[in-house]
Structure 1
Amino acid sequence: MTIHEIPGSEILVSIGIITISATISAIIARVFRQPLILAYILAGIIIGPYGLQIIINEKIIETLAMLGMALLLFMVGLELNLNRLRDVTRVSIGCGLGQIIVTFVFGYLLATAMNFNSVHSFYIAFALTISSTMVVIKLLSDREELETLHGKIVLGTLLVQDITTIIVLSALPKIEMLNIDFFINSLVAGIGIVGMAIITNRYIAPIILNFITKSVELLLLFAISWCFIFSLIAAILKFSIAIGAFLAGVSLATSPYNVEIIARVRSLRDFFSTIFFVSLGMEVPLMPTLMWQALVFALFVLIGNVLIMMIITEFFGYGKRTAFLTGLSLAQISEFSLIIANEGLNLGHINQDIFSLIAFVAIISITGSTYFITHSDGIYRFMIPILNLFHMGRKTQILERIPKNIKDHVILFGCHRMGSIIAKTLQMSRKKFIVVDINPEIVKSLMRQNINTIYGDISDNEILERINIKDAKIVISTIPNKNDNIFLLSEVRRLNPSAIVFTTANHLNDALELYKNGADYVILPNMLGGEKISEILGYRINRSEIEKLKRRHILQLEDLMRMEFLLSQDNKSIMRCVCSLGDRINI
């Protein structure tokens, strides 16, 4: 008896081959610093029926892809945190919806011009609109840019895109009816999904979770079962199982046990999402005739999406650096593009050629955007002359409050959290200082407080000239970007060698490099906590002093939270929140 004669052995062998090929491809990709999703898709192309034909059973491929997609979307739903939009709500929603609409329209026109029919053009255009949450978060996290201004805008935009994608997925069975009913049904389906998630989360899931959370095994089994139950309900209701899986995750997203569930399911998700992307690769035929079309669409994503996001981001009042880096981070199509295409293939809306075309675009754009994000600082500096030409003649809102002929002053770059504490100290000590920040909302807030400030970028020579850096006494940068700080040090040492310069770094090697480039002191946030505790232990050891320190720290944290909250609200909401927080502090 051979192994293939053993019942169920074929799917076991297939999973084994997929896992081994994915591992080898991932190791190669890691050596060459390429995205893992690209490696998984290429592995599938190689071992699939259009490559070496190691796995040719289409039913097995389809089943594994469907299982991986369900668990992937279940985790996306679990991690759907609307609080990410709080700091940049307006620009995130504006960028997300604006980019989807503009990119879709131009993508649809481009596809139509290339002689694709309306349904095929719809799938291609929508695939081009959504960016990869997995790729972007991974790369920005590696660069420690998730908490930067452009990082927050990117996260918010991705969240809007993901929600829109789920609504479109729910409407795919009705896509052939491209009329007002199609859009109404899509809207109703989206509202229904959110409503079901809210009701389930509030009244059903908490009862079950409170009973089973003491057992790790039960928690994992419950999470997987919950995913399959909702997928089954979605299938019965003629929806995609992707909708059911996403709905299952959303219904548990705000649970107190959300973190534990994510921790238990993540490894399983990673394994089956790997199988999903390899399975997608197995469905991609090697067709050179599609390559020129894929290249055109990929260039549209890599160049057109950057321009579209730049224009929309600047429309909301952000500068060229934030706008450019935001656009650069979103210059790829998503894993959801492949999910949409796969669903369309299963529904018979598109053929294998269209699916392959979208997969080729994904491979090209994900690879290109990886280099974009990895080398974003260098690309931005190289593009500054072109970006300046792009802005020439455009009227921009002036956000600054700078006294004339200021000298012997302190210049503070960045006024978020650590920077706001420094600014408050400078204000209390009545020192002359100017704040430079890239967030227009922070600058507006400082202007309302009559604090000298200017909206601008640390690497903009024009800004450095306007704040009179050649006559400054102290320069402080709370921005942890090493390249930006090296640029600042070179300019300060060239224009004002006697100035005292403080910079910030997140890593020891970066701090040492900044010292070599002329920094007088490098702030390491991760070490400040230890230094502060050491200081407290040195002279505050009695209970009463510790209590005073605690109360002062709580008030300081509340001040920071109040500032962050106020920046995200409109003027009417600001007044209500100020009154509420003021009453709380008085109590």
Structure 2
Amino acid sequence: MTECLFHNVPSHISLILGVTDGRMWHSLADVLILLAAAIVLGTIAEQLKQSAILGYIAAGTLVGPNLLGWVSDRQSIFDLAELGVALLLFAIGLEFSLTRLRRLGRIPLLAGIFQILFTLLAGLAVSILLGFSVSEALAIGATIALSSTACVVRMLNDRAELDAPHGRTALGILLVQDMAVIPLMLIITALVGKGTAADITVQLAVSLTLAVLFVAVFYGLFNYVLPRLLELSSLRRNRDFPILLAMVMAAGSAWAAHRLGLSPALGAFVAGVLLAISPFATQIRSDVQPLKTVLVTLFFAAVGMFGDLNWVVDHLALVLATVAAIVIGKMLITFGVAWFCGQPWQFALGTGLCLAQVGEFSFVLATVARGTTANPGILSESTFRLIVSTTIATLLLTPYLIQLAPAAANLIRKLGRRNQNKEPLQDAPQITELESSRETDSDLILILGFGPAGQRVAGELLQVGLKKIVVIDLNHENLQIASQYGLRSQLGDATQIEVLEHAGLYRSRLVITTLPSTTVCRQIIYLVRQLAPGTALYVRCRYHLHHWQLLAAGADVVVDEEEYVGECLAKQILESPLLPLLLNAKQKPDQPGNSHA
């Protein structure tokens, strides 16, 4: 009946009425099914004291085309979910200033180059011994040389181990691997028959030139154009504009890198690092957080969709043997190159455990190497399925390996008595510096809002010697005043968790909210009580009507403006010369002679 009604409707009227072929809604249904399954299985994984990532991957496998078949268009989902990896690296980059990036040192760079080279050669040699052709063996070596940036960085960040010795080295090696995606892709493309050695050389030179151009353009954009744009009063008044701008910058950096033939994830990370020196970095990171969370979850679910449980069951022994060989082999190779490049061996072992998996970009390399039905590549269908199954299996093992890394480092440190007094000293200054900085900031005072009220509070606190104060405000001019006070300041929305965490909420003893909005104050009270329940919370209340609401929400002290104004007015009257006159006027009718009785 519906089809008859709209059969003769003109196309422009159909668009107005929303009558479409339904492809968009079908894709949205696929995304919703994946996310719903990820919520359910991710929650189950957390209840079982496991990483939620395991649940996300399992969700994709369950509803994917190879099992229940509820979601079939896995490639489109995977293409969309790749943006999640880019947003994850963009957010991590916002935490890395150029100084902090340089602190990674030469070890990750050298170890990354050697790790890719030796893993590729090991995969090539073993594959040839097993009877594969040289071109197919080279493709296999290239796919297993890469580790999972999304999984490792997500786990290390959640465990607060990106600044640990093994975490810093693992991150550096992952960045080198992301840079290696382009040359590896060019090599596999040439092996499939779509290019020559000369083409590869030319393309590498072009990619290098474009990478330099990318960095230069984004450096100028983030350091000269963006600050002036974000200081516009219209952007400060309307919170929608900064959020939209943050999304455009995050997704735009990934898109620009992709258009230039570079790794979108690496391009997003570089853009984040360049933006990290800006005072707006923390707020931008907070603004992209919701979309990043959705797309990263979708990414892990999309990875699971490539799994085929029936094929794995039929070839279980082969899959298990391959997984064991890759995990042990990559762990030993990464451990060896990290130790050879100068990392203490207990931390090198932790780095090896973190990177003992096959990465998400291996799906891309394997797909190119397999080719299409019309133009077959160098990988057979069975080899392609083995690579996909092995990749998913190693990703499922990654959370356990990362959890094992610190414990293994401590165990090796205890057993290695001879090296205990020498090698750990190389990383000891950085660890001590990090720990000491945390200790010295354990008595922070956060002032949320630095208008006239916040400035008066800060002035009084400074006079009594309290100097460990961090100011959070969305007004750039107020932050300039805070810097004149000599205070640490951060541009951001105090109602967002990321902003409060970055400012040091977990290390604060006192939070002072001087913002006039009661709704905003209630949101802040809820977040502070949720994240740092032991922190004292002093709150400004504009209207007496909301006084008890804020106390009930969890504030320790509420300063009621209307009540305080009344007290101040009464005090001024009682101290003014007008008081005796008022008292005399009150007594005159009662004096003798003035009575009409």
What TM bracket, shorter-length normalisation? 0.5 to 0.7
Matched, 1:438 2:424: yes
Distance 1:285 1:30, change over 3 A: same
Q: How far is 1:101 from its partner?
A: 0.8
SS at match of 1:439: helix
In the aligned structure 2, how far is the partner of 1:108 from the partner of 1:40? 32
Partner of 1:247: 267
Q: How far is 1:151 from its partner?
A: 2.7
Aligned pairs (5 A) from 1:130-141: 130-141=146-157
- Cα contact 2:86–2:269 (8 A) shared by 1: yes
Which of 171, 181, 197 does residue 198 from structure 2 map onto? 181
Q: How far is 1:73 from its partner?
A: 2.3
In the aligned structure 2, how far is the partner of 1:176 from the partner of 1:268? 37
Residue deviations 1:165-215 (CA, integer Å, cap 9, x gap): 355457765453686436524532441342231232134465366335545
In the aligned structure 2, how far is the partner of 1:47 from the partner of 1:546? 57
Unaligned ranges ≥5, structure 1? 401-435, 446-476, 481-505, 507-522, 533-540, 548-553, 555-587
- Cα contact 1:193–1:247 (8 A) shared by 2: no
Q: How far is 1:268 from its partner?
A: 1.0
- Cα contact 2:115–2:334 (8 A) shared by 1: yes
Distance 1:384 1:74, change over 3 A: closer
- Cα contact 1:38–1:367 (8 A) shared by 2: yes
Distance 1:31 1:243, change over 3 A: same
Residue deviations 1:238-262 (CA, integer Å, cap 9, x gap): x5xx745753663454132444333
Partner of 1:501: none
Matched, 1:357 2:386: yes
In the aligned structure 2, how far is the partner of 1:268 from the partner of 1:352? 35
CA RMSD of aligned residues (A): 4.5
In the aligned structure 2, how far is the partner of 1:282 from the partner of 1:83? 40
Partner letter of residue 191 of structure 1?
Answer: L
- Cα contact 1:103–1:305 (8 A) shared by 2: yes
Aligned pairs (5 A) from 1:532-543: none
Q: How far is 1:14 from its partner?
A: 1.6
Residue deviations 1:288-308 (CA, integer Å, cap 9, x gap): 345444333322332122222
In the aligned structure 2, how far is the partner of 1:383 from the partner of 1:248? 36
Aligned pairs (5 A) from 1:183-262: 183-185=200-202, 187-204=204-221, 206-207=224-225, 210-211=228-229, 214=236, 215-225=238-248, 239=261, 243=263, 246-247=266-267, 250-251=270-271, 253-255=273-275, 256=278, 257-262=280-285
Which of 443, 449, 456 does residue 530 from structure 1 map onto? 443
Distance 1:312 1:219, change over 3 A: same
- Cα contact 1:47–1:53 (8 A) shared by 2: yes
Matched, 1:18 2:34: yes
- Cα contact 1:154–1:329 (8 A) shared by 2: yes
- Cα contact 2:38–2:59 (8 A) shared by 1: yes
Partner letter of residue 360 of structure 1?
Answer: S
Structure ID, larger Rg: 2
Aligned pairs (5 A) from 1:354-433: 354-376=383-405, 378-379=407-408
In the aligned structure 1, how far is the partner of 2:102 from the partner of 2:345? 23
In the aligned structure 2, how far is the partner of 1:377 from the partner of 1:235? 35
Aligned-residue identity in percent: 22
Residue deviations 1:329-361 (CA, integer Å, cap 9, x gap): 222222333344456567764565444323322
Partner letter of residue 89 of structure 2?
Answer: V
In the aligned structure 2, how far is the partner of 1:192 from the partner of 1:91? 25
Aligned length: 420
Distance 1:8 1:325, change over 3 A: closer
SS at match of 2:55: helix
In the aligned structure 2, how far is the partner of 1:343 from the partner of 1:78? 29
- Cα contact 2:107–2:343 (8 A) shared by 1: no
Residue deviations 1:16-57 (CA, integer Å, cap 9, x gap): 21111111121122223334333223222221221012223x
Partner of 1:338: 363
Q: How far is 1:545 from its partner?
A: 8.8
Distance 1:7 1:337, change over 3 A: closer
Which of 347, 364, 374 does residue 322 from structure 1 map onto? 347
Partner of 1:63: 76
Distance 1:528 1:17, change over 3 A: closer
- Once structures 1 and 2 are overlaid, which stretch shifts more, 268-277 or 220-229? 220-229
- Cα contact 1:74–1:246 (8 A) shared by 2: no
